[in-house]
Amino acid sequence: MTASRAPAEPTVREFEATVDRVDGREVVLDETYFYPESGGQPADRGTLDGHLVADVTERDGDVVHALDPDADPDLAPGDEVAGLINDAFRTYCARAHTASHVLYGAARRIAEDLGYAGFDISETKVRVDLTTAEPLDDGDLVELERLADRAVWDSLPVSWATHSAEEARDVDGIAFNTKTEEGAMSGGAVRVVTVGDADDPWDVAACGGTHVANTAEIGPIAVLDRSNPGEGVTRVEFAVGPTAIDEIGAVHAAALDAATTLDARVGDLPDAVSRLRDEADRLEADLREARGELLAARLRDLPTVEVDGARWAIGTVADAEPNELREPATAIVDGDSGGPDDDLDALAAVGAGDAPFVVVAAAGDATVDAGDAVGAVTDEFGGGGGGGPTFAQGGGLDADPKAVAAWLRER
């Protein structure tokens, strides 16, 4: 049984070891400093006796080094080999892993009933899954980032120690999830990582990963996004290193561009955006009112005709939706439009677009039933619709709009 020494000695990048056994391109050593994929932290990269290591896994208590498929290793049990761990990737993973603990410590300070549901490190970002009583909002993300970066600035020490499972569970405030922290447990013992002073820690958690010795080594932390992958779970995605620096720069540039566009300072953007939104709402309301007046004018201009003893206004209307016509059409037949034809019994407007429709409005005291009229149109020209005696609409008509209007006049 060979456990990885990486979590205990994360700064080791070169080592020598003895081959224990070889199975094709899979090699097991008597000891190793390669970190096997576990608990959300990816496997180390590097070489073994010059051969590229494609993957590192833990299997049946042994760390298995899978060499690159193109490798043709001439290794046998008892051979002495040199291991070289990719420094850049190990350093990134250690910084990212410690950053996830720092972020969880920040979440402890803003969320109630906080729980840990796992994490994952990718090449460009890190995710932490949190269980919280209430979903985190944008303001919480900003505060998470602020608190996490403050913990980095404060240069908090990071330490780790092994305890019995019983002792570990008794540690005050420990984040412990047996489903996600298999790497922290070995032979009944639990590895506990503490960020900050032991008597007043920023965070304490069961963890088998590699970590930096001080939070100052992490560098900037940039929160990217949040989502809800399951009930009661908030997923926070963040970046460290170059990706974080690029994200911070992009956000700053976007804020400056927005400020220039709005002729405001960056700090005044919320007020400027609020004023812009109010102005947009006012203009949208004015536009709706003007459009309503335009549609009402078009409906009042429809030619009138007598059908079965009732006076109708019938015609086509372009650039309109059925729901937009309901209010002005009803006002016209009810005599509330202020127009010259307030003695109409009914009005039928056929949409003159790629998807012909018909709306019918009838005066409340008229003998015309709007629903029956729309039903007659859909029986003749296809489609479907419905409504009541005073207003109805139908769509999906398989006919030229002008032909539908002509049929309504002549029926």
pLDDT at 185: 55
Its domain, for residue 40, covers 14-85
Q: How far is CA 129 from CA 92, 110, 118, 135, 213, in A?
A: 20, 15, 5, 12, 24
Mean pLDDT value across residues 170-197: 73
Query: Does pLDDT of 184 surpass 80?
Result: no
pLDDT of residue 364: 82
Q: CATH number of the domain that 222 lies in?
A: 3.30.980.10
* CA pair distance 161, 42, nearest whole angstrom: 22
The domain boundary, picked from 85, 118, 143, lies at 85
Task: Examine residue 345 and state whether it is found in any structural domain, yes or no.
Answer: yes
| Whether residue 126 sits in one domain with residue 239 | yes
Please check whether residues 157 and 36 belong to one and the same domain: no
* 173 shares its domain with 208: yes
Assigned domain for 359 exists: yes
In a domain, 1, yes or no: no
Pair 75, 102 in one domain: no
Assign 338 a pLDDT band (cuts: 50, 70, 90). Answer: very low
Mean pLDDT over 178-190 rounds to 59
What's the CA gap between 91 and 97, in Å, rounded?
A: 10
Position 189 confidence tier, pLDDT thresholds 50, 70, 90: confident
Q: Helices 370-381 and 401-410 meet at what angle, rounded to 10?
A: 120
Q: Is the pLDDT of residue 70 over 90?
A: no
**In a shared domain, residues 169 and 313:** no
The pLDDT value given to residue 336: 60
Report the pLDDT value the prediction gives residue 299, as an integer from 0 to 100.
94
Residue from 102, 143, 94, 146 nearest 121 by CA: 94
What value does the mean pLDDT take over residues 46-60? Answer: 94
pLDDT for 339 equals 46
The reported pLDDT for the residue numbered 183 is: 52
Q: Do 129 and 245 have their domain in common?
A: yes
Euclidean distance between CA atoms 105 and 15, whole angstroms: 34
The reply to whether 278 falls in a domain is: no
Instruction: Please say which residue of 85, 114, 136 terminates a domain.
Output: 85
Shared domain for 30 and 63, answered yes or no, is yes
Same domain assignment for residues 151 and 30: no
Whether residue 228 is found in the same domain as residue 123: yes
Read off the pLDDT band of 186 (50, 70, 90). Answer: low
pLDDT tens, position by position, 271-296: 999 999 999 999 999 998 898 899 99
For 408, the token pair is 């309504």
Question: Looking at the structure, do residues 100 and 187 belong to the same domain, yes or no?
Answer: yes
Written in H, E and C, the secondary structure of the chain is CECECCCCCCCCCEEEEEEEEEECCEEEECCECCCCCECCECCCCEEECCEEEEEEEEECCEEEEEECCCCCCCCCCCCEEEEEECHHHHHHHHHHHHHHHHHHHHHHCCCCCCEEEEEEECCCCEEEEEECCCCCCHHHHHHHHHHHHHHHHCCCEEEEEEEEHHHHHCCCCCECCCCCCHHHEECCEEEEEEEEECCEEEEEEECCCCCCCEHHHCCCEEEEEEEEEECCEEEEEEEECHHHHHHHHHHHHHHHHHHHHCCCCHHHHHHHHHHHHHHHHHHHHHHHHHHHHHHHHHHHCCCEEEECCEEEEEEEECCCCHHHHHHHHHHHHCCCCCCCCCCCCEEEEEECCCCCEEEEEECCCCCCCHHHHHHHHHHHHCCEEEECCCEEEEECCCCCHHHHHHHHHHC
**Does residue 289 fall inside a structural domain?**
no
Per-residue pLDDT reduced to its tens digit, 238-261: 999 899 999 999 999 999 999 999
pLDDT at 170 over 50: yes
Query: Using N-to-C axis directions, what is the helix angle for 87-108 and 138-153, rounded to 10°?
Result: 120
Residue 67 lies in a domain: yes
| Confidence at residue 188, expressed as pLDDT on a 0 to 100 scale | 66
Judge whether residue 342 has pLDDT over 70. no
Whether residue 323 is contained in a domain is answered as: yes
Q: Which residues contact 63 (CB under 8 A, 6 or more apart)?
A: 2, 3, 4, 28, 29, 32, 34, 36, 56, 57
> Does the pLDDT value for residue 305 go beyond 50?
yes
CA 241 to CA 220: how far, in whole Å?
7
Task: Tell whether 49 and 101 lie within a shared domain.
Answer: no
Q: How confident is the model at residue 112 (pLDDT cuts 50, 70, 90)?
A: confident
Residue 410 pLDDT: 86
Residue 8 belongs to some domain of the structure: no
Give the pLDDT band of residue 180 (cuts 50, 70, 90).
very low
Q: Please report, for the domain that includes residue 388, its CATH number.
A: 3.10.310.40
Q: What tokens were used for 279?
A: 């102005």
CATH code, domain carrying 30: 2.40.30.130
What is the residue type of 9? Answer: E
Which of 53, 85, 117 is at the close of a domain? 85
Same domain, 142 and 21: no
- If one counts the domains in the chain, the total is 3
Question: Residue 61: is its pLDDT beyond 60?
Answer: yes
User: Average per-residue pLDDT in the chain?
Assistant: 90
Q: How far apart are CA 122 and CA 142, in angstroms?
A: 22
